[in-house]
Structure 1
Amino acid sequence: MRSTTLLAATALAFSVLGATPALAVVGGTGSTAAYPFAGSFQPSYPEPPRPDGHGCGVQVLAPRWVLTASHCAGKNPTNARTGVPRGWKVRVGSLDTTSGGEVAEVDHYYRLATSRDEGGFWGRDVALLHLRTPVRAEPVRIASTTPADGTPARILGWGMTCEDSTNPDCFPTRLHEADTAVQPISTCTAAAPVGELCVGSRDGRVGARNMDSGGPALVREGDDRVLAGVVSGPSGDGEPVLYTDVTRHTDWIDGIISGTDVPPDDVIPDVEGSVGLDGCVGSVVRPPGAAAWDGALLLTNGHCVQGDRPAPGSALVDLPAAREVSIADAQGYPRATARATRLVYATMTGTDVALYRLDKSYARLAAEGAKVFRLTSGPVRAGDPLTLVHASGRSTCTAEAVVDRLREGAHEMAGSIRYATDADCAPSQGWSGSPLLAADGVTVVGVHNTHNTAGEVCTDDNPCEVAPDGTTTAVRGRAYGQQVDRIAPCLGRGTRLDLHRPHCALTKP
């Protein structure tokens, strides 16, 4: 039942790379002159947590091509390898992220590796961004070979000066730089076997920091500064920072820029209607009989509520809420937004569900083009085909069995849906609350809520099935969803909750 984001381990552009720095590039100074090839990558999705929109660094390699880190280009809703972004731009050739230089829109991205790859993207954390219009900036040349240990290196970036993402003073708009060196790879204890450079002072006092990702490590070749690596991720505390060795990937880079070896776009799965909820997923559902002007309801898991979770054997009813909601289009970008103003109901007993009321009606959301699903009034049965709509795609599932009782820690649920072990149906952390659709593709008949992560029996994150005679069975990797047919009988006129209605079987407070 844990609710963690899928990209938490990979979104290094927004993670703190070590101790709090005094400057963006620790141990450095404010740059006195712009580097024509250096730029700021400013994606609009997800919304950057800083006023200037900066997310990562980029380097101009050709008039319509810039290089950054793969995880920076992972700021697309489905974590696709290649595709067409929305609202991405770069500002190059300026000291300042908010003015000067040249601004160009990104119309395509190509990532060498993603977090889905076996072994992740360590040593391969590079991406190319294609610009809709060319820039005049003088490109930087890639180094001809991997720099030797001890090679002097200059690093650049607009990274954060402190860890408080709510403090505007933590976000420098002026470029910083520092002179340091390439260290033996063993100095970075988090390093993968090959493909990385360890750059910075041995004690970590000079180095890159949060939001310097994608920025350069420059070395000398003759009279020129050339690009040896881009910031990939942290190592240990008090250590230098890991950079992907760009010199190892010149064939991949040249193949794309020249047009001789361009990867095809990923097929983007249809995630229309999914709602990201800080490590969980939700969906807007319309119960039978609901009027178009009724306040819309958002469905997710009980364990996905903000604040304290429902206690075992109880429920939360009609509480204030303040939760921003973004309803995705087919490619995962925001189609409509709303605000959850009340927690109508939440429980983790008998089932694991939560309902929020939004500040917009079904009619208003429909007018904005948002996907609204129907809420079922009938149960899932063994053998029923299901589609699991999560934040990064769709999975085809089958209800292998309806489990009499499912126990997880102190909570027990009835009529849980056990998925057949189809190759395509392997839910991950962060998918909690994802809607399970019936064969018609528009009716929500369940919500995913848990899977056994370690093979333990009846512990948190390790649910077990409880037979009528009390026998327990736990299988590592086995996943479950929860029935939602009990919700509709408890909703009256205006989709108001009434737990005393006839046939209402939801757990009461």
Structure 2
Amino acid sequence: MTASLVAASPAQAILGGTESPHAYSFMGSFQPSYPAPPRPDGHGCGVEVLAPRWVLTASHCAGRNPTNAKTGVPEGWKVRVGSLDTTSGGEVAEVDHYYRLATNRDEGGFWGRDMALMHLRTSVKAMPVRIASTTPADNSPVRIMGWGMTCDDYQDPACFPRRLREADTVVQPTSACPSASSGELCIGSSDGSVTASNYDSGGPALVRENGQWAVAGVVSGPDESGKTLYTDVTRHADWINGIISGTHVPPDDRIPNVEGAANLGNCVGSVVSAPASRPQDPALLLTNGHCVEGQRPAPGAALVDQPADRQAPITDRHGYPKTTVRAVRLVYATMTGTDIALYRLDQTYAQLKAAGVKVFRLTSTPVRAGDPLTMAYTGDRLNCTAEAVVPHLREGGYQEDDSIRYATGDDCAPQHGMSGSALLAPDGTTVVGLHNTHNDAGEQCTDNNPCEVGPDGAVTSVRGRGYGQQVHMLAACLTAGSKLDLSHQGCTLTTATRRR
């Protein structure tokens, strides 16, 4: 379903189905190592072999590449085909390219076009399945199959079957699926007792033609009626055949260089060094103060030298994990004056350099109006400009000073989840600020609705405006050994009582 490789959501169990009595040569399990599906067997989606080096699946299954590219080269993706079991048997092949018919950014729309081809590094011997010759008529019999969930508990391994399951059902009129879009098939029993499930995404709707199976659709997502929406594969046979034959192969997307961004789950971080840093010093990771785990620093105060145990994968240039670091100490965090947090890591700068990890430098110069900035998110690089430096920014009881307001535009539209992204100077290596907030609803000074306060006290609040925070004051507070000294000359950070 739509959530099969995304977030966990309630899913109907595979009702009316049974374990398949025999394997289907063309049926396979897509098993990406990144992002790894949260189930013991590693299964993420269904695939169907169309040619010795080509499999068909849903676009959203191939859409969890880090940069949401439409066409490109993955890392750590494989398929197991021709087996009943997701963990053994059949043939295993690596995926070395993906081609998505549509993404959620396409002007032509995503629904009804949720389909992708994946190219295999080596050929498989499996007997391919043909594409159906035409859209199946209403009430046509179809067979559906997959390794989707059989119950709703994402913590229970028993809900994730390793053995292939199948069910026979029918194509319903599209009017029976209120969510159906053009190009989608409505499939399942009228009462919802036979349907697909989460982790069945990309799996087939099969029809019989000339005594053989043919694929008519692939699972896209659930319908509110309890039935399942399938992308109608027959409508896109020309697109499929053009790629497989090599006559109409889309070019690869230009992938932004996202090297060095650290994924903190709900936020982003980056490894930074200060002028006093030495290769043998424990490395430091910078993010927002509001991104710390547990209780946030109180207004007017800071957290200093606190316990921490937090893992963060750091991206390579294409957004895949280069290595994973562990934060072992929260050195400093505040949301007053600025919005920053600094963690000490379990590896030194020298160790990270040897692993090929990008290490950024901390600036000692404040951002000024007109400065060009690059926002270093884990899956993208946003081109921003400092439109103004705001004397005071207030949000939910906190106040930051000399905040950076971005010029509005399509190239700089931060979203939730981007907090902590480094703002880089034109050299691509110097961190001059941190993205931390944007105004969601136009409210004044509430959570997620920051407001500007001018020198005369005038309050301004504009929906959609994004802001970052200065970090230039941090370098003066760091000494050799990645130690924090709030009394060091030039250090102007908010202080707090040290607690262990």
- Residues 501 and 163 (structure 1 numbering): CA distance in 2 closer, same or farther, change over 3 Å? farther
Structure 1 SS opposite 2:143 = strand
How far residue 161 of structure 1 moved from its aligned partner, in angstroms, is: 3.0
Aligned to 1:64: 53
Matched, 1:174 2:174: no
Structure 2 SS opposite 1:71 = helix
Aligned to 1:251: 238
Alignment counterpart, residue 234 of structure 1, candidates 205, 218, 222: 222
Aligned to 2:403: 416
Structure 1 SS opposite 2:351 = helix
Structure 2 SS opposite 1:95 = coil
Residue type of the alignment partner of 1:65: W
> 156-165 vs 340-349, which deviates more?
156-165
Matched, 1:157 2:149: no
Aligned to 1:270: 257
The Cα offsets for residues 335-394 of structure 1, whole Å up to 9 and x where unpaired, read as 122111222222222211111111101110001010000011221111111111112221
Alignment counterpart, residue 117 of structure 2, candidates 113, 118, 128: 128
How far residue 317 of structure 1 moved from its aligned partner, in angstroms, is: 2.6
How far residue 469 of structure 1 moved from its aligned partner, in angstroms, is: 2.1
Identical-residue share of aligned pairs (%): 69
Aligned to 2:483: 496
Size of the aligned set, in residue pairs, is 496
Alignment counterpart, residue 187 of structure 2, candidates 199, 207, 212: 199
Structure 2 SS opposite 1:243 = strand
| C-alpha separation in 2, matches of 1:127 and 1:168 | 28
TM-score (ref. length: structure 2): 0.94
The Cα offsets for residues 385-412 of structure 1, whole Å up to 9 and x where unpaired, read as 1111112221222111110011122222
Matched, 1:294 2:281: yes
- Residues 12 and 120 (structure 1 numbering): CA distance in 2 closer, same or farther, change over 3 Å? farther
- Residues 394 and 243 (structure 1 numbering): CA distance in 2 closer, same or farther, change over 3 Å? same
Residue type of the alignment partner of 2:362: L
The Cα offsets for residues 103-154 of structure 1, whole Å up to 9 and x where unpaired, read as 1111111001112223752111100001111111111111222222222221
Residue type of the alignment partner of 1:33: H
Residue type of the alignment partner of 1:219: V
How far residue 18 of structure 1 moved from its aligned partner, in angstroms, is: 4.1
Say if 2:11 and 2:152, in contact at 8 Å, map to a contact too.
Answer: no
Alignment counterpart, residue 5 of structure 2, candidates 9, 13, 28: 13
- Residues 218 and 402 (structure 1 numbering): CA distance in 2 closer, same or farther, change over 3 Å? same
Structure 2 SS opposite 1:406 = strand
Once the two structures are superposed, the pairs formed by residues 432-471 of structure 1 within 5 Å of their partners are: 432-471=419-458
- Residues 240 and 16 (structure 1 numbering): CA distance in 2 closer, same or farther, change over 3 Å? farther
> 402-411 vs 110-119, which deviates more?
110-119
Gap runs ≥5 in structure 1: 1-8
How far residue 166 of structure 1 moved from its aligned partner, in angstroms, is: 4.1
Residue type of the alignment partner of 1:13: L
Alignment counterpart, residue 319 of structure 1, candidates 282, 306, 312: 306
- Residues 184 and 322 (structure 1 numbering): CA distance in 2 closer, same or farther, change over 3 Å? farther
| C-alpha separation in 2, matches of 1:16 and 1:206 | 21
Matched, 1:368 2:355: yes
Residue type of the alignment partner of 1:494: G
TM-score (ref. length: structure 1): 0.93
Aligned to 2:209: 221
| C-alpha separation in 2, matches of 1:174 and 1:12 | 17
How far residue 202 of structure 1 moved from its aligned partner, in angstroms, is: 3.2
Once the two structures are superposed, the pairs formed by residues 59-138 of structure 1 within 5 Å of their partners are: 59-118=48-107, 120-138=109-127
| C-alpha separation in 2, matches of 1:292 and 1:155 | 57
| C-alpha separation in 2, matches of 1:389 and 1:489 | 23
Say if 1:16 and 1:163, in contact at 8 Å, map to a contact too.
Answer: no
Alignment counterpart, residue 471 of structure 2, candidates 484, 487, 494: 484
How far residue 272 of structure 1 moved from its aligned partner, in angstroms, is: 0.7
Aligned to 1:4: none
| C-alpha separation in 1, matches of 2:290 and 2:479 | 25
> 431-440 vs 158-167, which deviates more?
158-167
The Cα offsets for residues 222-273 of structure 1, whole Å up to 9 and x where unpaired, read as 422221111112222x611221111111111111011111000111110010
- Residues 321 and 260 (structure 1 numbering): CA distance in 2 closer, same or farther, change over 3 Å? same
Alignment counterpart, residue 39 of structure 1, candidates 9, 15, 28: 28
- Residues 165 and 506 (structure 1 numbering): CA distance in 2 closer, same or farther, change over 3 Å? farther
| C-alpha separation in 1, matches of 2:308 and 2:151 | 30
- Residues 387 and 16 (structure 1 numbering): CA distance in 2 closer, same or farther, change over 3 Å? closer
How far residue 16 of structure 1 moved from its aligned partner, in angstroms, is: 4.7
- Residues 179 and 251 (structure 1 numbering): CA distance in 2 closer, same or farther, change over 3 Å? same
| C-alpha separation in 2, matches of 1:10 and 1:29 | 23
| C-alpha separation in 2, matches of 1:471 and 1:433 | 28
Structure 2 SS opposite 1:182 = strand
Residue type of the alignment partner of 1:143: A
Aligned to 2:135: 146
| C-alpha separation in 2, matches of 1:387 and 1:175 | 47
Residue type of the alignment partner of 2:104: S
Residue type of the alignment partner of 2:20: S
How far residue 163 of structure 1 moved from its aligned partner, in angstroms, is: 4.0
- Residues 340 and 161 (structure 1 numbering): CA distance in 2 closer, same or farther, change over 3 Å? farther
| C-alpha separation in 2, matches of 1:449 and 1:17 | 28
- Residues 120 and 287 (structure 1 numbering): CA distance in 2 closer, same or farther, change over 3 Å? farther
Aligned to 1:3: none
> 299-308 vs 325-334, which deviates more?
299-308
Alignment counterpart, residue 306 of structure 1, candidates 280, 283, 293: 293
How far residue 281 of structure 1 moved from its aligned partner, in angstroms, is: 1.3
Aligned to 2:319: 332
